[in-house]
Amino acid sequence: MGVAVSPFQIDSRVADFIDKPRKMLIDGKWVNAASGKTFPTYNPATGEVLAQIAEGDRADIDAAVKAARKAFDSGPWSRMTPSERGKLIWKLADLLDEHVEELATLETLDNGKALTIARAADVPLAADMFRYMAGWATKLEGTTIPISVPYTPGAQYLAYTLREPVGVIGQIIPWNFPLLMAAWKLGPALASGCTVVLKPAEQTPLSALRLGELILEAGFPDGVVNIVPGYGETAGAALAAHDAVDKVAFTGSTEVGKLIVHAATGNLKKVSLELGGKSPNVVFKDSDLDTAIAGSASAIFFNHGQCCCAGSRLYVERPVFDRVVDGVAAQAKKIKVGSGLEPETSMGPLVSEEQLQRVCNYLEIGMAEGAKAVSGGKKLGNKGYFVEPTVLVNTKESMKVVQEEIFGPVVAAIPFDDVEELMPRANDTVYGLAAGIWTKDISKAHKVAAGLRAGTVWINCYNIFDAALPFGGYKQSGWGREMGKDVLELYTQTKAVCTRL
């Protein structure tokens, strides 16, 4: 395939990895698609084909689910102690640490994000997630419950609960943080003793496939983790509908989230969803304005705005509106947009041609609706999927660019007059994933945090993630929480055992 994607020298292990068509991982073996088909993945910085990938479809999903079923029902995994499981997960975290450069480079080539960011955030956060979850493997426990049973007077019982793994899990992940989303999904499933069929996004399968190699190297038994790349409408849909899958965990668009719910009705598999957002980021006039400006810029521009929790609605108290908007626009203009491999790049290309079209379409709609760009507003260059970091003003809640998830570096700035008037406007969205608040008034900060209908509220910071902190959505932003101990609820089920003594 050749690597002619950048004038920069890329790691030779990475060059070798993408040089050969990549296979899928089923039952501990790397195999071609049953159909023999492959699909291309592209380098978004150039639009050129990066690698060919085995194209999974229904037959491959079926084989992978069978392998996961066998590993769960009767494989060595099902007999391992929690401590043994925890050690394997910890070892995987160590292997991620040992391969930071290689994984970060794959992420940059496939997704477009700046290598400096993939290296500092994506890979270490993924390793952290596995390490945090490794610790949970030995700490999932039930309770003993004193019971009264009114219709058996005088009888004595010993009643307790067991927390057992849900079973075979189908996991469908997006392209914005390919490796990290795989870690968020796999970590709790493995800690709980589940087995998995993972379908990475068709735009960014590479890091998950390299992770699959590290999973084998760590020593996980065959069939515990199966990785089937392919398209959503085929492989993804087959996984979501499969009758031998006990639960499906999905991250992606709200639109597809709804399809997943429908697909799950056949066998009533459990469903968890981490979906879109249109998060309000609120700057009060009593905040430290310099910090609030820098933080608000990074709230929207981090990962090119391709974050489900991006602070895409910037509410600013009227007396400081111009200063904050000018400040965020000045930051936007300073952002160095370029190939993620260049060391000085702080924003790479969007992930795909389709995503570029989607974002540019929203920019046009916004202008037609009367919005004005004080920075950016258009596509950048003729090669690759670059777009200018954009700050829109003259926006109001009725506009599409204020209601719909753009998933690009585009923020709509809106003034407000006081807290009472702000709250219903900030909550005027079908989403409820995250929110930001910038103020020095502690009491106001916590009152506003309580009033925001969102799964995460950041005060005087934004985009702060930790494996211990639960993350997920209110309203149409999803079902369930990822990370923290909350996520383990999604991968375990309770068995009540009652003994008459």
Residues engaged in binding ligand NAI (CB under 6 A): 172-174, 176, 199, 201-202, 231-233, 236-237, 240, 251-253, 256, 259-260, 274-276, 308, 358, 405, 407
CB of 302 to ligand NAI, least distance (A): 13
Q: Are strands 410-416 and 313-317 parallel, antiparallel or unpaired?
A: parallel
DSSP 88-144: HHHHHHHHHHHTHHHHHHHHHHHH---HHHIIIIIHHHHHHHHHHHHHHTT-----B
Q: Quickly list H helices, 335-480.
A: 353-368, 400-403, 419-426, 442-451
CB of 271 to ligand NAI, least distance (A): 12
Q: 137 or 186: whose CB is closer to ligand NAI?
A: 186
274 annotated active-site: yes
CB of 43 to ligand NAI, least distance (A): 17
405 annotated active-site: no
DSSP 259-271: HHHHHTTTTT-EE
CB of 28 to ligand NAI, least distance (A): 23
**Residue 304: both structure tokens together:** 């090119």
Q: Among all residues, whose Cβ is closest to ligand NAI?
A: 232
Contact 35, 57 (CB under 8 A): yes
CB of 371 to ligand NAI, least distance (A): 19
CB of 387 to ligand NAI, least distance (A): 13
Q: 102 or 274: whose CB is closer to ligand NAI?
A: 274
Q: 260 or 393: whose CB is closer to ligand NAI?
A: 260
**Residue 470: both structure tokens together:** 């639960």
**Which of 55, 194, 202, 308 is flagged as catalytic?**
308
Q: 134 or 454: whose CB is closer to ligand NAI?
A: 454
- The kind and range of the H/E element at 315 are strand 313-317
Q: 60 or 405: whose CB is closer to ligand NAI?
A: 405
- The kind and range of the H/E element at 50 are strand 48-54
The CA distance from 345 to 340, in Å, is 6
Taking CA atoms, 126 is separated from 10, 26, 92, in Å, by 22, 22, 10
CB of 113 to ligand NAI, least distance (A): 14
The CA distance from 183 to 93, in Å, is 10
The CA distance from 278 to 477, in Å, is 9
The CA distance from 294 to 311, in Å, is 12
* DSSP code of residue 234: I
Contact 363, 410 (CB under 8 A): yes
Rounded to 5°, angle at Cα 137 from 131 and 143: 140
Only one residue has tokens 């589940």, namely 194
Q: 174 or 193: whose CB is closer to ligand NAI?
A: 174
CB of 174 to ligand NAI, least distance (A): 3
Contact 221, 145 (CB under 8 A): no
Contact 408, 302 (CB under 8 A): no
Q: 23 or 242: whose CB is closer to ligand NAI?
A: 242
Residue 254 CB neighbours (<10 A): 19
CB of 192 to ligand NAI, least distance (A): 22
Q: At what angle do helices 100-111 and 82-98 cross, to 10 degrees?
A: 70
Q: 439 or 456: whose CB is closer to ligand NAI?
A: 456
Q: 331 or 456: whose CB is closer to ligand NAI?
A: 456
The CA distance from 454 to 448, in Å, is 11
**Which of 55, 107, 274, 388 is flagged as catalytic?**
274
Active-site residue numbers?
274, 308
